Amino acid sequence: MTQEVKTDVLVIGSGIGGLYFAIHMADHAKVTIITKKESSTSNTNWAQGGIAATIDTNDRPELHIEDTLDAGAGLCNEEMVSLMVHEGPSHIRRLIELGVEFTTNPNHSLDLGKEGGHSRNRIVHAKDLTGREVETALLARANAHPNITLLEHHYALELITEHHLGVKTNDITCYGAYVLDTLNHRPKKILAKVTMVASGGLGHVYLHTTNPDIATGDGIA
């Protein structure tokens, strides 16, 4: 028999995207996070370099946008690039508020690195283990939040839409997901008002990749 679970918000994935979204939604709603392995197993844990943000006084958003579009060689969505550049600094500050300890200089300012494609120092990092530091801090905050339930070893099988209700419509609304508890081999139906798919990358659809085994592109599939 399929167990039915009701929640306000369902988040599929426990990397930086899923956790960051869940923590902010939990201020207003009950949130359930599912992840197909242990909660700390994600691409985020393997990210080393850092996060680019226009923070230095010698930097400007226009320069950051220009560098990004040049490096993207025509593949970038300019609107999204502008959005990320302009909102980046505020999210760095928020990550610090959430407990992320980025590497700092002796005067306590952020130590900004410079990487390929960037004309200014703008890489916020935690030594060479940035992803692990961000993941650890966000997981600690999520686990401590009374409005967040984190279900490990729960694999999302299919999103629930009108098609499962026998309704014919041109519009598609998501009502949650069918999920498999892989430890107990039991199916669950998780109903949610909001469903966020933050299931990570797809490196392992290729023969050779540096991505961890968990990056199998499930959300896209």
Q: Using 70 as the pLDDT threshold, list the residues of the chain that sit under it.
A: 39-41, 164-167, 221
Question: Are residues 149 and 209 located together in one domain of the fold?
Answer: yes
Alpha carbon distance 98, 84 (integer Å): 19
Mark whether 101 and 148 lie in a shared domain.
no
Whether 28 and 101 map to the same domain: the answer is: no
Task: Indicate if 136 and 205 belong to the same structural domain.
Answer: yes
Sort 57 into a burial class: Cβ within 10 Å, 0-12 / 13-18 / 19+. exposed
**pLDDT given for residue 221 in this prediction:** 65
SS3 137: helix
Distance from C-alpha of 79 to C-alpha of 84, rounded to nearest angstrom: 9
**Domain extent for 124:** 52-128
Structure tokens at 76: 């970038």
Q: What is the pLDDT of residue 209?
A: 80
CA distance 117 to 120: 9
CA dihedral 69, 70, 75, 77 (to 10 degrees): 10
Tokens of 103: 């590497």
Task: Say whether both 207 and 168 belong to one domain.
Answer: yes
- Say if strands 154-160 and 51-52 run parallel, antiparallel, or are unpaired: unpaired
DSSP3 helix / strand / coil % (the chain, rounded to 5): 30, 25, 45
Mark whether 82 and 31 lie in a shared domain. Answer: no
| Domain end among 128, 150, 169 | 128
Structure confidence by residue, pLDDT tens digits, 61-95: 999 999 999 999 999 999 999 999 999 999 999 99
Last residue of a domain, one of 128, 153, 185: 128
Instruction: Report the pLDDT value the prediction gives residue 30, as an integer from 0 to 100.
Output: 98
Is there a single domain that holds both residue 43 and residue 77?
no
Do residues 172 and 162 lie in contact, with contact meaning Cβ atoms separated by under 8 Å? yes
The pLDDT mean for the chain works out to 91
Q: Do 78 and 153 belong together in one domain? A: no
Query: What local confidence, expressed as pLDDT, does residue 165 receive?
Result: 65
43: burial class by Cβ within 10 Å (0-12, 13-18, 19+)?
buried
Q: Indicate the pTM of the whole model.
A: 0.88
219 with 121, same domain: the answer is: no
Q: Are residues 37 and 119 in the same domain?
A: no
Sheet with 31-35: strands ordered across: 148-152, 31-35, 3-12, 186-197, 176-181, 154-160
Residue 45 parent element (H or E): none
Spatial strand order of the sheet with 51-52 comes to 51-52, 123-124, 112-113
Contact 189, 176 (CB under 8 A): yes
102 and 158 together in one domain: no
Shared domain for 64 and 111, answered yes or no, is yes
pLDDT for 31: 98
Domain boundary residue among 93, 108, 128?
128
What's the CATH code of the domain at 188? 3.50.50.60
Structurally, the chain folds into a number of domains equal to 2
The 10s digit of each residue's pLDDT in 142-157 is 999 999 999 999 999 9
Looking at residue 20, its pLDDT comes to: 97
pLDDT of residue 40: 66
